[in-house]
Structure formats: C-alpha cells, structure tokens
Amino acid sequence: MEEEILKDAKTILIVDDEQPIVDILVYNLSKEGYNTIAASDGLTAVDIALEKKPDLILLDIMLPKLDGLSVCKRIKNSLNVPILMLTAKDGEIDKILGLELGADDYITKPFSVRELVARVKANLRKVEAVSNNIQIEQSSEGKKQDSKIVVGELELDLDKFEAKVRGEVIDLTLREFEVLKFLASQPEQVVTRETLLEKVWGYEYYGDIRTVDVTVRRIREKIEKDTSAPKILITKRGVGYYISGE
C-alpha cells in the first residue's frame, strides 16, 4: 500500500496486519502532511524499511511471519530510525524498551489517533534536533571540553554520541544517550519524570512515566557496577532522577 508521494515530506512506514488500523493511520498521517507506506507482515516490513529508509516506523508487535520485536531488532541493526511500537499488552513494555531492541517509544492499543500523531511528531522533532546537533546548555558544574560532558566517572562525547564509564565505551540507544546527556548537563539537580518526558521524549503532555522508568533501568544495567546500589544515575524517591557529581 503506497500513497501519493509528497516532495520533502517525512515518510512513515506503518506495519500492522489489521487493515482498518492501517487505513486510519494512513488517512490521519497523510492529513498531517506525511508520506506513508505500509506492510502487513514482519518480513515485508524489514525489506521495505531497508529499501525505502523511512523517517519513522509504526510497528505492531503481533505480526505474521516475523513478530514486531524481531522486526525492530533487525531494522535497528542496520538503520538508526525511530521506531514506535504498537502493543495491546502492558506486559510487553519492558521488552519493547529493552536492552536488546532499541525501540524508541511505544503506545498501547486502543490508542487515540490524536495521541499517536503527537507521539510521531515528538519523535521526529527529536531526531531533527539531534541531527542539527542542538546542544543542551549545561551548568558550570559539568565540565565541557571539545563538546564533551564529564561528570565523575561518566564522560559523554556529544559529537560522536558516545558514552564512556570509567573509560569504557558503553553501547547506548539514542534515547538512552539523550537521557544521560540531559541529566549530566545539570549534575546533582533532580529532574522529574514528567520533565524528562517533555524535554527528552519531546512530549507536550504528561505521557506514561513508565517509559522513563524502564529506560533508566536499562541505562543502569549498562553503566552501573551494581544496579541495586547505583552510584552514577541516582533516584530521588518520589521526585525523579539525577547524575551524581562525585
């Protein structure tokens, strides 16, 4: 399924085996000025993604031939494209935002089209901001040299989108890197989950804070020696998170 191509418009790949959902998404995203392409099974989705290189992918979990989680993993191995997962199960959220997948966002069915379009816009804005190398202003407590932020054992290279802990390069997704960058730019300052959703995910409303909690947990699995007693990314109970300046 392929719509009329709009010049210079962003292209969104919709992957869902329920045709009514595809039709609704195509209609509403086209109204917002996006080009859309669609796939109804996982294997076709991978082929289309690698060939067309869309700007964003809406990806259902329950798919014929190859499930959405496997599709996400395969695509992320080749393309740095934001993927918004569609799921009918709350229990899938940990997997969607998991260490091995690199999905950028999720939304649970049934969803409002308005919310989904807002999520699409937010993710595309974030990618554009990163590609334009927009830097988050950092406090004087963070030491910046040659586009780097160094706080304690954590070092972020903003040009390479590379993180090091105790001198070792850490493999982070783009979203995980952005969370660390935002927090490290203001060490010892507690940031609420809602603020992280707004500033890092780009949501203009209070989304599901579990997105933040799961992402933070995944970051800790990569940067902390002991996730039960974190020394770098600290929780302020009932408030939010901060990067230790020690």
CB distance 41 to 13 below 8 Å = no
CATH number of 143-243: 1.10.10.10
Q: Print pLDDT tens along the chain (246 aa).
A: 444 555 678 999 999 999 999 999 999 999 999 999 999 999 999 999 999 999 999 999 889 999 988 899 889 888 888 898 888 776 666 666 654 577 778 888 888 888 889 888 888 887 776 555 444 444 444 444 458 888 888 999 888 888 999 889 988 877 888 899 999 999 899 999 888 888 887 765 555 677 788 889 889 999 998 888 899 999 988 889 999 877
Helix 113-131 vs helix 19-31: crossing angle, to nearest 10? 60
Q: Which residues contact 185 (CB under 8 A, 6 or more apart)?
A: 136, 137, 138, 139, 142, 149
Domain ranges, ordered by start, for the chain: 11-131, 143-243
| Distance of alpha carbon 12 from alpha carbon 36, whole angstroms | 5
How does pLDDT run across 230-242, given as a tens digit for each residue? Answer: 999 999 888 899 9
pLDDT > 90: what percent of the chain? Answer: 35
Per-residue pLDDT at 122: 82
89 touches 117 (CB < 8 A) = no
Q: How far apart (Å, rounded) are the C-alpha atoms in residues 90 and 109? A: 9
Q: Residue 198: its pLDDT value, please?
A: 81
Would you state the pLDDT for residue 135? 43
Task: Tell me which CATH homologous superfamily contains domain 11-131.
Answer: Response regulator (3.40.50.2300)
pTM equals 0.63
**How far, in whole angstroms, is CA 32 from its chain's centroid?**
21
HSE-up (13 A, CA, CB side) for residue 76: 23
